[in-house]
Amino acid sequence: MRAFFSDPAKPAPSEIFRVGLSDGVPQSATAVYSDLGQGIGGARVAAVLGDRLLIGSPLDAKILDCTMAR
């Protein structure tokens, strides 16, 4: 991440997981998005809205809007 801040030409990878909870305790994690930094660099937050996955990053001035596979 530090490398991206000092040189925005260097990609910052992103990976988003769906976490299964039981009584608030994580039980499983499944990757739902993975990218070497081309789509969005250094993702830090994601939210699901219907079949859409919205991904944000402090490194990019955009929100990535993806369609979730069923």
Partners of 28 in the β-ladder: 20
3-state class of 29 per DSSP? strand
Q: Is the pLDDT of residue 5 over 70?
A: no
- pLDDT at position 66 is 95
3-state class of 63 per DSSP? strand
Tens-place pLDDT, residues 12-68? 899 999 999 999 999 999 999 999 988 998 899 999 999 999 999 988 889 999 998
Spans of all domains in the chain: 2-67
Q: How many CB atoms lie within 10 A of CB 66?
A: 18
